[in-house]
Amino acid sequence: MMVKRHYLRFVAFLKSLDIYQVLSIPVLLLVIMFSGDFRNTDIRIGVILPLTGAGSLRAGSHRNGLELALKHINAQGGINGRKIRLETCDSKGSATLAAELARDLIYETEVVSLIGGLSPAETRAIQQVAENAQVPFLTALCTHHEITENGSIFTFRSITDDKSQFEALAEFSARRFNCRKPALIYDSTLYGEESAHKYMEICIKFGQQVCAAVSYQPDSLNFRRQLQVIQASNPDALVLLTPADTAAIITRQAREARFNHPILGGNHLSLPEYSTISGVYAESVITTMPFNPRLGGQRADYFLSEYYDTYSSQADSFAALGYEALMLEVLALRAGEANRLAIRNSLAQLHGWESVAGSGGFDNHGNQVRPAEIAIIKERQKIPVNLEALF
């Protein structure tokens, strides 16, 4: 009865309106929709990773970490009631495609921030587009030192860079093994040569002088000639600045050639394929590790168990860094508005955060301040050196 009365009154109200008033109703609805951002309530973040081709395994893990973080954030209501949406694109390892994807995400999808980049060339291409358009860009995989040393304003890096890794390796080898004359093997592509120059520059600070630096052509499988040159210079350590699979072959051939001094390398040597290919020869190799679950405490435990439940596999460092990267974006979004400049300014203010990968912070250049952690490989497991005595 009551419903009928209201219905009749409503019909009477509609009949009382003139044609202009009736036509203005859809206009009013449109005004409300556009003013309330009904078109796009989600906060869009662009992700550019080489999901196919070389590096796809690492990129895939990274994406899983990002998506797990996304699931956790949106399950808790998102940011101020707005869900986060990841716009994930496959750069296929191409710098040109990465640049085009960054352009489309910025100007067409209108993302508020970008995450991604693995190889230095690809990362620089994304960075150039992002800096040009004044869009915050966070890389959690690219370790090339130049990314945050080129005066960029909108670029941030949450992984410990090459420079910190090299400092940690040089310092550790000098203190633990009293190394003074390391030798280097690097790939002849640009990244290898630049890394070699950087290592030579850094190790001097720790009283070391590189006695031999030898390059090789990509896709080489026989490194005996390079190892002969190195052994002739009588080094007291061998530093591998190569991809993981190549480093594993070099390690095998070096040990077979009775090279008994320490073998060291950056994050590449902490990858599972290094231990798998080099087998027992990886024993006692010194590496840096980008993710130590012990530093993340309960957060890391929760992440590892959730990751396993979701993907039925163990989380690796790239997954953890992906999870951390999106959580940093969320910290920035919670601190300010969901616009590009506010996110950039909030990221620049992030110091002393706690995440699954431990404590961290950005320096004045947007670079991670977390020091590199040294690990030793024992029975194919990476053991942080400060826990070595326990194993």
Partner 1 sequence: MSENTQKNGKNNGAGFWLLLFGVALAFYFINESKRSPENVREESISQRSPEPPAATVTDIAPRKISDSNDPSATLRIPFSRPVTTAAVNDLLVDPAGTLWAATEAGIVSIRNDQITHYRLADGTFPFPQAQCLAHDGSRLWAGTLFGLCVFNENKRFVRAEASQGLPSQMIWDMTSDGKTLWVGTQSGAAFLGKDDNFVVIDEEGSNGGLRQNWCQRVFRVENWFAASHDNGISLWNTSFPAANPEWWKNIDHARSGLTRPVTDFAFDGKYLWLSTPRGVLHLTTPVSRFFSDFMPNLVSYSRVHGLPADRINSMIHHRGALWVATNEGIARIKNEHIQLISPESGNFARHIRKLTASGDLLWLGTDNAVQFINTAMVD
> Does the protein bind partner 1 through residue 101 (CB under 8 A)?
no
Using the rule CB under 8 A, which residue among 8, 11, 54, 153 binds partner 1?
153
> Does the protein bind partner 1 through residue 337 (CB under 8 A)?
yes
Residue 145, classed as helix, strand or coil, is: helix
> Does the protein bind partner 1 through residue 35 (CB under 8 A)?
yes
Quote the distance between the C-alpha of residue 252 and its chain's center: 29
Q: How far apart are CA 227 and CA 239, in angstroms?
A: 12
Q: Which is nearer to partner 1, 100 or 306 (CB)?
A: 100
> Does the protein bind partner 1 through residue 204 (CB under 8 A)?
no
Environment class of residue 182 by beta-carbon count within 10 Å: exposed (0-12), middle (13-18) or buried (19+)? buried
Complete DSSP assignment for 287-320? EEES--HHHHHHHHHHHHHHHHHHHSS---HHHH
- Window of 127-135, 176-184, 318-326, 370-378 that interacts with partner 1 by CB under 8 A: 127-135
- Window of 27-35, 160-168, 314-322, 370-378 that interacts with partner 1 by CB under 8 A: 27-35
Q: Which DSSP helix (H) or strand (E) runs through 329?
A: helix 317-335
Nearest to 159 by CA among 371, 387, 332: 371
Using the rule CB under 8 A, which residue among 7, 10, 38, 107 binds partner 1?
107
Q: Which is nearer to partner 1, 129 or 285 (CB)?
A: 129
Q: How far apart are CA 54 and CA 58, in angstroms?
A: 9
What is the size of the binding site for partner 1 (CB under 8 A)?
Answer: 47
> Does the protein bind partner 1 through residue 349 (CB under 8 A)?
yes
Complete DSSP assignment for 191-247? HHHHHHHHHHHHHGGGT----EEEEE-TT----HHHHHHHHHT--SEEEEES-HHHH
> Does the protein bind partner 1 through residue 348 (CB under 8 A)?
yes
Using the rule CB under 8 A, which residue among 43, 66, 86, 125 binds partner 1?
125
Map tokens 């915050």 to a residue.
136
Q: Which is nearer to partner 1, 5 or 13 (CB)?
A: 13
> Does the protein bind partner 1 through residue 36 (CB under 8 A)?
yes
Q: Which is nearer to partner 1, 204 or 387 (CB)?
A: 204
Q: Which is nearer to partner 1, 96 or 276 (CB)?
A: 96
